[in-house]
Structure 1
Amino acid sequence: MSFVELPNAPHYVLANATLPAITVEGYSAAASEGLLCTDLVIADGKIESVLPPGTAPAALPRADLREGMVWPCFVDMHTHLDKGHIWERRRNPDGSFMGALENVSADRAANWSTDDVRARMEFSLKTAYAHGTKLIRTHLDSIPPQHRISFEVFAELREAWKDRIALQAVALLPLEQVLDANVFGDIVAVTRTHGGLLGGATRILPDFEKILETLFKAAADNGLDIDLHVDETEDREVLTLKTIAETKLRLGFQGAVTVGHCCSLARQDEDLARRTIDLVAEAGISVVSLPMCNMYLQDRHAGRTPRWRGVTLFHELAAAGVPTAVSSDNTRDPFYAYGDLDPVEVFREAVRILHLDHPLDEAARVVTTTPADILGRRDIGRIKPGLPADLVLFSARRWSEFLSRPQADRIVVRNGMGIDRRLPDYRDLDPVLDR
C-alpha cells in the first residue's frame, strides 16, 4: 500500500509537498534547511505551477502529501552498465583494484556477447527506472572488438528506452591504444557514429602528454566531448588530473571535459592540491565522485583497517566553482560487489562519506541539477513549470527522516502518472550468469 494515492485524473494537485529548493525553478519562497513547502499542480503530464501551500485551486483532485518530499527524477552520470551484475559469475576474491581489472578482463573475454551485454544492461535499466532515474551516462569497455558489440547494444537500448531513460555512452579505452592510429581511429569512428564521448582511465604512462594531446585533438576534430577516469589510486605521486587541466587549457579545447574519481588529489599536500584545483576550475572541467566504489576499493590491504575514505577533495573543488556531482559507478561486479543503481542510496552514502551535511541546504543538487547540467540536459533534474511531471515522491518530510531509511516506499511519477515500481528479479539473469 502506497503512503499516498495519486488522483486518477489528468489535472490534479500534489498538496503540502516539501521540495529541495535547489531543484526548483520559477518559484521563490523562504526555505528551511533548503526545503520549500508548496502545492504542485500537474496538468496533462507536465508541471503546471508551483504554488504556496494551500493555494492550489480547490476544485482540483488532490493528493495530500502531508509535507512529504517531492524530488525531480535523478541523474546517474557515471555508471558501467556493460559490467553490471557479473559478480556471481566472476568475483573479485580480494576486493583489490588489480583483482577487479583482472577478473573483469577475464569475464569480458569469455562472456561479453551481444546477448549477454544486452541482458545485463537491460536489467540495470529496469532497476534504475524503478528507482526514479531519468538520465544515465555509462562507460563502455572499448577494447577491440568489444567496442563494436557494446556500442551496438547501447544504441539499440537507447532507442528502446528513449521515453523512459535518456542514455549517453563513453568509450572507455586503454589509453596506450590512442597512439595506435588504426585501433584508435576505429574506436573514434564507432564512438562518433553512436554519438558517444571519448574516455579512458589515466595513469602514469610513457608519452602520457602525447597520448592526452592526441585524444583531445581527435575529440576536437570529431566534435566529441571527453569523460575520463582519473587518478583512481591512493598513490600521491599520480598527478594526471593536473596534466589534463593543463592540456585542455594549452590546446584551447572547446568541448566538455568530465573527470571521475580523482582519488589521489586527497593524498597531495595542500599547496599542490590547491594549484591543481585552481587549474581544474580555470579549465572548466567537471568532477564526479563515486563515493561507494572508491571507499570499497581504495586503501584496501589484507588484514589492515583502511586509513582514509578514498574520495576526492569534493568540498574544495565545489568551493572553487568546479561543477561537482556523485554517481553510482559499478554495480555487482568485481569493482564493486554491491549497489543497485539507486541514486537515493548513492546520495545517502555520499552525505555520510563526503560530509555533505551541516548544512544540507544544497546537497540534493549532486544527483539532480548539477549532473544534469554537466551532461547538457538542463531539462532534467529540476522542478519547473512547463517541464514533464517526472517526480519521485517520499513519505519523509525532513532530512533526518529522508536519510535514516532507504525510502523503499517511494512513488515514481513519470509524465504525471505513477509507474510500476517492482524491481526486476535477480533470477531473470540466471540464463546468462549460469553459463
Structure 2
Amino acid sequence: MEFRALPRGAIILDNVSIPGCIIGRPEDFVLAKVPLGSCVPDQEDAPVIDMQGAMALPAFVDMHTHLDSAQTWPRLPTGEVSRDGAFKTLTSDHAHWTRDDLMRRIDFALRCAFAHGTCAMRSHIDVSNPQLDLVLSVLDEMRTTWGGRIALQASSLTALGRFDADERDAQIASRFAGMGGALGAILDPIHDLRPRLKAFLRLAALHGLPVDFHADETLVATSECLRVLAETVTEIGFDLPVTVSHACALSAQSEARAVQTLDLVAKAGLHVVSLPLVNLHLQDHQPGRTPRRRGMTLVQEMQARGIPVSFASDNMRDAYYPFGDLDMFDVLRDATRIAHLNHAGTDWPKSVSQTPAQACGFDLPDLLGGAPDMVIFNARNWSELFARPQSDRIVVRSGQAITRSIPQFQELDDLYGRR
C-alpha cells in the first residue's frame, strides 16, 4: 500500500506509534490501535491496516501567527532586515489591503496550514493599521468560513508605548473580547514600562481577556521586559493566562541573570512561545556578515523549571520573514535541531499541540477517539521523523484522511501585478 493512501470509512489503524507524553504514558512510544471513521478499537467487522510503526502526532496548534500580512513578500520593496525595518516596509503595503486582497491571502495561508495538519491558530493583528476594521471584519468572516477545519483566534498587537488606556484602547479590548481573542502588546525597554504594563493588565482584567506579549525581540542584553512582566504579574496578582513570545535577549545575558529571570517567569506562571524560524532570520542579521548570535531563547532551561513552552510559525512570506508555509512540523523539526531538543527529554511534541491548545483555550486535538485529529508520518522514531521533510504525511481530521491540497503560489500573482 502506498503510505499516503488510506481508505475512507470505518477502519482501524494498527501498530501506530504514539509518543507516550501525548497520552500520559512514561514510554518513549506506545504502539496503539487508532480507530477512524467513528468505529471503536475492538470493532470486529472494521478493516484493519497495519501501519508498521508509523508515528502519529495530534493535529497542530499554531498559537503565534500574523495572518493579515501573510503572502505580501512578492510586492514589498527590499528594506532593512530588522524588526523595525520590517515594520516600516510592511506599513507601506497597507494601501494594497483591500477586502479581496486580505480574503485571498488569508485563505491561501489557511489552506497551507490545513494541508500541513494544523487545526487551531492564533493570529496577532496590528491595531495601529488604519484599516483595522477591515482586517478584523475579514478575519471574523474567516473564523466562520473555516469553522470545523481551523479554529481561529485573534490577539491585538500594539507597541506598549502607544498604549494610553484611553477610550480607543478600551474599544479595542471590547472588540477582541467579542471575538473570543486576547489583548496583546510589544514590550520594549521604555522608561515607563511598569506603569504602562500595569494599566494594560488592568484593562485586560476588566474585559476578562488573556494577554499575549511580544517581548525582548532583540540581542541587547539589557532588554529585560520579560523580567519586568513576570515581576508585575506577580505583584498585582493578575490571574488570567499570560503568554510571552520571542525572549531572544535571554540568549545574550549572563547565565546567572538569565536563569534568575526564568525563576521569576516560573513563579508568575507565564507561558512562553519560541519562534525559531523568524528569530534566526532577523537576529544578528547584518549585510555581508555571517550571523554569530541566533537569538534562540532558553527553552531547555524553561522546561526544567516547569515553564510551559510552545513553538509557533510567526510570519509567513512577509517583510519579517520571506519564507515559511505555516507548516508546524517544519517548525518542530527546526526547533529540535537548533535547540538540541533530541537530548532534552521526549515530551516536546506537546509544544506544538497540547501545550499551545491549553494556553489559548482551544479544544485539545483528539488522538485515540473514533474521530481523531492527527498527522501520521512515514517514520518510526525521532531520527527517522526529523531526517526528512515528511511531505508524504497523512492528515486525519474528524476521523478521516483529508486530500492534502497545498495551494500554488501562482494563484496570487495578480495581487503582485503579475499576469
Q: Which category describes the TM-score, using the shorter chain as reference length? A: over 0.9
Q: Report if the CA contact (8 A) 1:5-1:63 is conserved.
A: no
Matched residues, number: 418
Amino acid corresponding to residue 8 of structure 2 in structure 1:
N
Kindly indicate whether residue 398 of structure 2 is the aligned counterpart of residue 412 of structure 1: no
Match runs of 1:28-427 below 5 Å: 28=25, 31=27, 34-44=28-38, 48-49=40-41, 56=42, 59-108=45-94, 110-179=95-164, 181-358=166-343, 361-377=346-362, 379-385=363-369, 388-427=371-410
CA 1:4–1:125: 2 relative to 1, 3 Å: closer
CA distance in 2, matches of 1:8, 1:144: 45
Q: Which residue of 1 aligns with 2:3?
A: 3
| Structure 1 unmatched runs, 5+ | 50-55
- The one-letter amino acid paired with 1:371 is P
**In 2, Cα distance between the equivalents of 1:142 and 1:433?**
24
Q: Are the aligned partners of 1:7 and 1:63 in contact in 2 as well (CA < 8 Å)? A: no
In 2, Cα distance between the equivalents of 1:296 and 1:272?
A: 25
Report the AA paired with residue 96 of structure 1: S
Distance in 2 (CA, whole Å) between partners of 1:91 and 1:371 is 34
Q: Distance in 2 between matches of 1:287 and 1:86?
A: 27
Which amino acid is 1:69 matched to? M
Change (3 A) 1:2 1:215: farther
1:23 shift after superposition: 1.4
Structure 1, 361-370 or 237-246: larger mean CA deviation: 361-370
Contact residue 147 and residue 187 of structure 1 kept, 8 A: no
Tell me how large the CA RMSD over aligned residues is. Answer: 1.9
Q: Relative to structure 1, is the Cα distance of residues 184 and 237 closer, same or farther in structure 2, using a 3 angstrom cutoff?
A: same
One-letter identity of the residue aligned with 1:408: S
Offset from partner CA, 1:168-202 (integer Å, 9 cap, x none): 11001122221161332332232223222111211
Cα shift readout 1:290-319 (whole Å, capped 9, x = no counterpart):
001001100112222211221111111111
TM-score calculated relative to the size of structure 1: 0.91
Q: Identical aligned pairs, as a percentage?
A: 39
CA distance in 1, matches of 2:177, 2:136: 11
Deviations 1:219-262 (A, max 9, x none): 00111110000000001111111111111111111111000000
Structure 1 residues 134 and 116, CA gap change in structure 2 (3 angstroms): same
Q: Distance in 1 between matches of 2:11 and 2:31?
A: 17
Question: 2 CA distance for matches of 1:4 and 1:103?
Answer: 41
Structure 1 distance, partners of 2:138, 2:392, is: 32
Q: In structure 1, what residue type is equivalent to 2:235?
A: R
Over residues 125-145 of structure 1, what are the superposed CA-to-partner deviations in whole Å (9 max), with x where a residue is unaligned?
A: 111001010010110111153
User: Aligned partners of 1:139 and 1:155: how far apart in 2?
Assistant: 13
Point out the more displaced range, 216-225 or 269-278.
269-278
Which stretches in structure 2 are left out of the alignment for 5+ residues?
A: none
Moved over 3 A (4+): 56-59, 91-94
Give the whole-Å Cα distance in 1 for the aligned partners of 2:404 and 2:413.
Answer: 22
